[in-house]
Amino acid sequence: MLLLPLLATCLAQANDDVTLKASGRLHYQFAHFDNDARGKPECHGDDLRAAWLAVFGKLHIVDYKFEADFAGHRPVARDAYIARSIGNTTLLLGQFQPISHLDDRISSNHAPTIERSWLMQTLPPGYRLGVGATGHRDGWFWGASAYSLESIDAWKHKGHAAGSRLGYAARYSPGHVLHLGMTAAREEYDHPGTRGAAPLRVHPRTAGYFADNSRLPLIDFHSGRDVAVTKLAVESAGLHGSFSWQVEYGNVCYNDGQQRGEARSGYVLGSWVLTGESPSYDVKVGRLGPIKPARSSGAWELEVQYDHIQGRQWPLHRLQGAAEAWTVGVNWYAPQYVRLMLDWTDSRRRDAPGGRTLDHTGVLAGRIQFDF
């Protein structure tokens, strides 16, 4: 309903001061599991994982974007903000993804693997209400944001936070980039687990989107005491013609005055475009971008990723665990709009203190993707 007045205004005043554009994505995904005898088995599944629609453009002196995901039982708001650019700096107000690390900055439309890194399940807060600023100059890029821990659709996380990112991209020649960066954030959660506030948990799915039984409980704060969270991450990426890679490592510390928690996660990702195209790179925000096929037959890409996470909480709830996974896959890019993806992931969950393997799961996952 919020979009209707804006749409009417834009259609009635179609000129250089008011513009309206649209974008969207559909991600249909499936998974087939190879379960071992340990742990509860996963069930094969398929689902429309994303059905996003956005309108964006210019409204006099500000830019705007309103985006929602219609894949679930009810629409969920994503980006909903206004922005103002001043030179090389852009100011944002509304709901957006607070400034975070490299994997979070790369759109799911362009990420080489179907499943994002476990760092993505640990570090970013998701879409939140707040204010932010991003900028760039001479290969440097930076960003900062102050935000509530609430969003338009989720009001059960109470608290406030601030985060920042700084990085540098050395552009040696077209198609050759070395990228370095770091991220820091501080979040203050109010009484998680009580008075209507949601518990604060880190329970990553170690075998992918459909694998609820593979969740690894690492962090669980639900006593109602306020929790301070400190997040740090470093990142690096490279682009060398048709080869690209990215590496990240992050650490998150939790403290409510009686209990402490810590989660560490990192990954290494490599990609090779068999048909010779080079992934794009956006130096303004410091992220790898889409592959644009040079032939009518499209482009082919091979990728491999190693992912690791471990965490612990002490002294009252002695949670401690770890997981690792290898992923190999192939992607086909149509000349426009369509991408087909197929990944095989081998994942293991471990009881860290005893060194015991809790389960060993393989999953064949695929995605049919359309975006415009």
Q: What is the pLDDT of residues 316-341, one digit of tens each?
A: 767 789 999 999 999 999 999 999 99
- CA distance to 140, 176, 239, 248, 270, per residue, from 283 (Å): 8, 12, 12, 18, 20
Report phi then psi at 275, rounded to 5.
-90, 5
pLDDT at 115: 96
Report phi then psi at 118, rounded to 5.
-65, -25
The answer for residues whose C-beta is within 8 angstroms of residue 209's C-beta and 6 or more apart is 29, 31, 47, 49, 115, 365
Average of pLDDT values for 28-55? 94
Contact 95, 144 (CB under 8 A): no
Average of pLDDT values for 37-54? 93
Report phi then psi at 301, rounded to 5.
-135, 135
pLDDT in tens, 264-305: 999 999 999 999 999 999 999 999 999 999 999 999 999 999
Q: Give long-range contacts, CB 8 A cutoff, 24+ apart: 146-150.
A: 147/98, 149/125, 149/187, 149/189
Contact 127, 115 (CB under 8 A): no
- Report the C-alpha gap between 21 and 55 in whole angstroms: 6
pLDDT at residue 255 above 70? yes
pLDDT at 10: 47
When the pLDDT of each residue in the chain is averaged and rounded to a whole number, the result is 92
Average of pLDDT values for 177-193? 96
CATH of domain 3-371: 2.40.160.10
Count of H-run helices and E-run strands, the chain: 2, 20
Average of pLDDT values for 25-40? 93
Residue-wise burial string across 266-280, b where 16 or more C-beta atoms lie within 10 A, e elsewhere = bbbbbbebebebbbe
How far does CA 70 lie from the centroid of its chain? 18
pLDDT at 317: 67
- Report the C-alpha gap between 104 and 119 in whole angstroms: 9
pTM, to two decimals? 0.91
* Most confident among 21-30, 100-109, 200-209 (mean pLDDT): 21-30
Q: What is the 3-state secondary structure (H, E, C) of 94-118?
A: EEECCCCCHHHHCCCCCCCCCCCCH
Q: Which band of pLDDT confidence, cut at 50, 70 and 90, is reported for residue 5?
A: very low
